[in-house]
Amino acid sequence: MAMIYKDPWVLKENKFDHLHLGKTEAIMSQGNGYMGLRACAEERYTGECRGLFVSGTFNKFDETEVTELPNCADMTEMEIFLNGKLFSLQKGNIKSYSKELCLKSGELKRSIVWCSDKGERYNLSFLRIVSLKNLHTIAQKVTITPLSGDTTLSLACGINAQITNSGSQHFSEGAKRFYEKRYMQLVATTTESKIDFVFSTDTTLSVNSKKQIAMNRRRIFSKYDAYVAKGQTVTIEKISTVHTTRDKQTENLSLEQLQEFALKNLKQQVTLGYAGILQDSKTRWDELVWQNIPIEIETDNIKDILAVRFAQYHLQIMAPAHDNRMNIGAKGLSGEGYKGHTFWDTEIFALPYYIFSQPSTALSLLQYRYLSLPGARQKAADGGYKGAQYPWESAWLTDGEVTPLFGGADIVTGLPTPILTGQLEIHITCDVVYGIWQYYKASQDESFMREYGYEIVFDCANFWASRLQEGSDGLLHINNVIGPDEYKDGIDDDAFTNHFAKWNLLLAVEYYNKLQGSDVSDVFERLKGKISLDCKLWEDKASKTYVPMPNERGIIPQNRTFLDLKQIDLTKYKNQTQVGTIYKDYNQHQICNMQVCKQADVLLLILLMENLFSPKAKQANWNYYEPRTLHDSSLSLSTHSILASDMGQEDLAYELFERACNIDMGENMSSSNEGIHAGSIGGIWQCVVFGFAGFRVTENTIRLAPKLPKHWRSLNFYLWLKGEKIKVTVTHKGVDVSKEGYIAIPLNSSPF
């Protein structure tokens, strides 16, 4: 195992592992919400997956593919020859190696002593930053010191736009140009969405060098030849920028103007140099996160502290807080996985962090859902329904549903497995509403609700009102869906979906009545004629909606047939070290007919709607569903950890938290290849704040019912509530809530 967890600020590997490059490329990826850069080495390796992704720049490769976030030009690559030998860790000898990401500064660092196969030794260090201050900037600093004799250095670097998304080339090549014999610029345009990207870069060497400029297909670069004496250190600084015609700040510029603007910005960044860019970025990290909303854990277990900071780091770099037309991808901006698409992962798993830590980001993410209402209305209409139905997978605002139609191989048929989630996983519509409700409850942001929120809640209620079907029992049912547990498809009366649909209808009724009696009837004025506002219909539908409730044994049937399905011994899969091993033995159809859950489903319902169920029912369902849940989705563990905390099973809660942290940060070297797990990372925060601190916002109150892990002495964190920031301190002796001035929020420490 090469991962080291000794420093609470530093994620580190101390062994170069060419078979598992994807691990650190993803978990040590850098970014700022505008862009995300995988932590690939400067030198190229087979098996690497270089990646630079700019939020919201979706493109559709061709009619057979769905839109995806294009993997754009690489500006970090460097080809280095030392005394004629290509620098590569797969050649010669590695005398020492470390690769680390400092979460505090956001700086990535590799330190290497390398011996070429001629026996010549070199000290190399590679530093890199993606600025949190200037969202367009990537800065690199490389130092090379020959240790055993003088050397010739030959370096080639520039802009490489030959990158693809697993073979799909999303760009047409545009202009390439050197300015003032030094600054390089390359323009590329997405083939279908026609977004122009302007990549600019500049490289400087600290020693005299002979320089040649070169261009070839989709590539512009410079070659430098220099002489470096033994013990002398040569420093290479490469500063690069990315701008696109999708950027809000420059949306009125023509492409030529944007190129000029980009060049000017590059020059400014070059004057700051690596050190200045790093300093600015570090200051921003402190302002936004580490000094503003730190989570402090007093414990001797450094990995726990590191894991929570790792979560905060990624939650910061994955969120496109600068632009409300964009949202968080299931892999953030750290890989091609899930094509950059947004799922319910945002509202149910990541959003709570922003609601309580960075409300302006939460607001922006919810505004994205408002701005994508036309696509949601289209999706409902396409299915013959009314109102707004959110796509299971979303990309650009007008793209509508973008879920691919086929996935991995079916072990039985040998054919690609159809992906039905785009058609059937309809609970996303109420998950979005749940996100709005949570945000509103915590922030009391009435102006958001008036401008955006109420309309979403009402029009989603319209969808449910038209989607519910009358059954022979005279009640309304929701048939043929996939619930959160994606191992079951085409099922009827999924407990999660039915409960949430009813809740959405009732929420619409509640808000409608509240608005009726208030002085904000202008909301109705604006919405009348735009959407249907039939409160009686919502009320009527809600009252007739069938919702699965605990049976005589206290078990809520996950769906109409679940409790009758056959049961198999799941021990092998419960003990798996890789997720999804059940697919090695059974296909989707077979799994669908067994009592096995991919991820938290009924238990998630109980967590999110705790008022509906008694503590006894909670316990009974925990006892039933936990053993049947394989946690084959990364979203599952945090839910179970929080519930375990709620039920006083502290050891189990901690064990599940640890497993959730290990999804990305742990020893499985392949789990993050396609990118980090954004929802699961939001779940890490939830385990700490909702689980260990037992925090919830209930009606007009907050609840703190802590269950601190035994080996944590204390936990401090900040929460934004009703526009005010409060500090929570939890110890084994009790809880302290403080803020300047008085606290208007009554505390209730009972867990249920």
The DSSP 8-state label assigned to residue 14 in this structure reads: -
Which residue's CB is nearer to ligand IFM, number 114 or number 343? 343
Which residue's CB is nearer to ligand IFM, number 97 or number 338? 338
Our finding on whether 487 is near ligand IFM (CB under 6 A) is no
For residue 408, the minimal CB distance to ligand IFM (Å) is: 12
Our finding on whether 489 is near ligand IFM (CB under 6 A) is no
For residue 334, the minimal CB distance to ligand IFM (Å) is: 13
Which residue's CB is nearer to ligand IFM, number 345 or number 493? 345
503, 508, 510, 514: CA torsion to nearest 10: 160
Residue found by looking up tokens 């939001």 in the block: 682
Which residue's CB is nearer to ligand IFM, number 306 or number 604? 604
Which residue's CB is nearer to ligand IFM, number 570 or number 635? 635
* Spatial separation of the C-alpha atoms in residues 157 and 202, rounded to whole Å: 10
Q: Could you tell me which stretch among 23-31, 165-173, 339-347, 574-582 binds ligand IFM (CB under 6 A)?
A: 339-347
- For residue 413, give both structure tokens: 């048929």
Our finding on whether 344 is near ligand IFM (CB under 6 A) is yes
For the chain, the farthest-separated pair of C-alpha atoms sits apart, in whole angstroms, at 88
Single out the catalytic residue among 68, 120, 486, 674.
486
Q: Could you tell me which stretch among 343-351, 394-402, 443-451, 661-669 binds ligand IFM (CB under 6 A)?
A: 343-351
In order, the DSSP letters of 83-137 are TTEEP-TTSSEEEEEEEEEETTTTEEEEEEEEE-TTS-EEEEEEEEEE-SSSTTE
Our finding on whether 675 is near ligand IFM (CB under 6 A) is no
* Spatial separation of the C-alpha atoms in residues 317 and 107, rounded to whole Å: 13
Q: Judged by CB under 6 A, which of 330, 424, 461, 507 binds ligand IFM?
A: 330
Q: Could you tell me which stretch among 159-167, 338-346, 508-516, 660-668 binds ligand IFM (CB under 6 A)?
A: 338-346
SS (H, E, C) 670-716: CCCCCCCCHHHHHHHHHHHHHHHCCEEEECCEEEECCCCCCCEEEEE
Please, which residues have CB within 8 angstroms of residue 157's CB and are 6 or more apart in sequence?
Answer: 77, 78, 79, 203, 221, 222, 238
Residues from 166 through 195 that contact ligand IFM (CB under 6 A): none
The DSSP 8-state label assigned to residue 610 in this structure reads: G
For residue 342, the minimal CB distance to ligand IFM (Å) is: 9
Q: Give whole-number Cα distances, 471 to 180, 466, 541, 649, in Å.
A: 74, 14, 13, 41
Q: Could you tell me which stretch among 33-41, 229-237, 341-349, 584-592 binds ligand IFM (CB under 6 A)?
A: 341-349
Q: Could you tell me which stretch among 156-164, 247-255, 336-344, 647-655 binds ligand IFM (CB under 6 A)?
A: 336-344
Residues from 79 through 118 that contact ligand IFM (CB under 6 A): none
The DSSP 8-state label assigned to residue 4 in this structure reads: E
Angle between helices 636-646 and 615-625 (to 10 degrees): 140
Residues from 289 through 318 that contact ligand IFM (CB under 6 A): none
For residue 372, the minimal CB distance to ligand IFM (Å) is: 17
Burial of residue 125 (CB within 10 Å: 0-12, 13-18, 19+) is middle
Our finding on whether 486 is near ligand IFM (CB under 6 A) is yes
For residue 165, the minimal CB distance to ligand IFM (Å) is: 18
For residue 51, the minimal CB distance to ligand IFM (Å) is: 18
**Burial state string for 215-236 with b = 16 or more CB within 10 A and e = fewer than 16:** eeebbbbbbbebebeeeeebeb
Over the window 113 to 152, marking each residue x when it contacts ligand IFM by CB under 6 A and - when it does not, the resulting string is ----------------------------------------
Which residue's CB is nearer to ligand IFM, number 87 or number 343? 343
Over the window 678 to 697, marking each residue x when it contacts ligand IFM by CB under 6 A and - when it does not, the resulting string is -x------------------
Which residue's CB is nearer to ligand IFM, number 76 or number 633? 633
Which residue's CB is nearer to ligand IFM, number 85 or number 631? 631
How open is the CA angle 386-390-394, to the nearest 5 degrees? Answer: 145
For residue 668, the minimal CB distance to ligand IFM (Å) is: 17
Our finding on whether 345 is near ligand IFM (CB under 6 A) is yes
Residue 486 designated active-site: yes
For residue 486, the minimal CB distance to ligand IFM (Å) is: 5
Strands (E), 453-520: 469-470, 476-477
- For residue 619, give both structure tokens: 């316990």
Residues from 495 through 524 that contact ligand IFM (CB under 6 A): none
Q: Could you tell me which stretch among 144-152, 274-282, 342-350, 401-409 binds ligand IFM (CB under 6 A)?
A: 342-350
The DSSP 8-state label assigned to residue 634 in this structure reads: T
Tell me how many residues contact ligand IFM (CB under 6 A): 9
For residue 421, the minimal CB distance to ligand IFM (Å) is: 8
For residue 586, the minimal CB distance to ligand IFM (Å) is: 18
- For residue 233, give both structure tokens: 């250190």
Strands of 52-54's sheet, edge to edge? 30-31, 35-37, 52-54
Q: Judged by CB under 6 A, which of 5, 224, 343, 712 binds ligand IFM?
A: 343
Which residue's CB is nearer to ligand IFM, number 330 or number 355? 330
Nearest Cα residue to 617 out of 570, 683, 548, 561: 548
Provide, for the chain, the percentages of residues in helix, strand and coil under a 3-state DSSP scheme, each rounded to the nearest 5: 35, 25, 40
Our finding on whether 633 is near ligand IFM (CB under 6 A) is yes
For residue 679, the minimal CB distance to ligand IFM (Å) is: 5
Our finding on whether 336 is near ligand IFM (CB under 6 A) is no
Strands 747-748 and 701-704: parallel
Which residue's CB is nearer to ligand IFM, number 313 or number 344? 344
In order, the DSSP letters of 203-264 are EEESS-EEEEEEEETTEEEEEEEEEE-TT--EEEEEEEEEEETT-GGGTTS-HHHHHHHHHH
Strands (E), 403-485: 406-409, 416-418, 469-470, 476-477
Residues paired with 224 in a beta bridge: 155, 211
Residue found by looking up tokens 């067994």 in the block: 594
Please report which helix (H) or strand (E) contains residue 198, including its range.
strand 196-205
* Spatial separation of the C-alpha atoms in residues 412 and 315, rounded to whole Å: 39
* Spatial separation of the C-alpha atoms in residues 336 and 134, rounded to whole Å: 24
In order, the DSSP letters of 732-743 are SS-EEEE-SS--
Q: Could you tell me which stretch among 100-108, 337-345, 532-540, 605-613 binds ligand IFM (CB under 6 A)?
A: 337-345
For residue 596, the minimal CB distance to ligand IFM (Å) is: 15
* Spatial separation of the C-alpha atoms in residues 703 and 694, rounded to whole Å: 7
Which residue's CB is nearer to ligand IFM, number 266 or number 432? 432
Q: Judged by CB under 6 A, which of 295, 308, 592, 635 binds ligand IFM?
A: 635
For residue 330, the minimal CB distance to ligand IFM (Å) is: 4
Residues counted in the chain:
752
Our finding on whether 25 is near ligand IFM (CB under 6 A) is no
Q: Judged by CB under 6 A, which of 61, 126, 274, 338 binds ligand IFM?
A: 338
Which residue's CB is nearer to ligand IFM, number 200 or number 346? 346
Which residue's CB is nearer to ligand IFM, number 75 or number 661? 661
- For residue 87, give both structure tokens: 């620098």
Residues annotated catalytic, as ranges: 486
Report the interface residues with ligand IFM, using CB under 6 A.
330, 338, 343-345, 486, 633, 635, 679
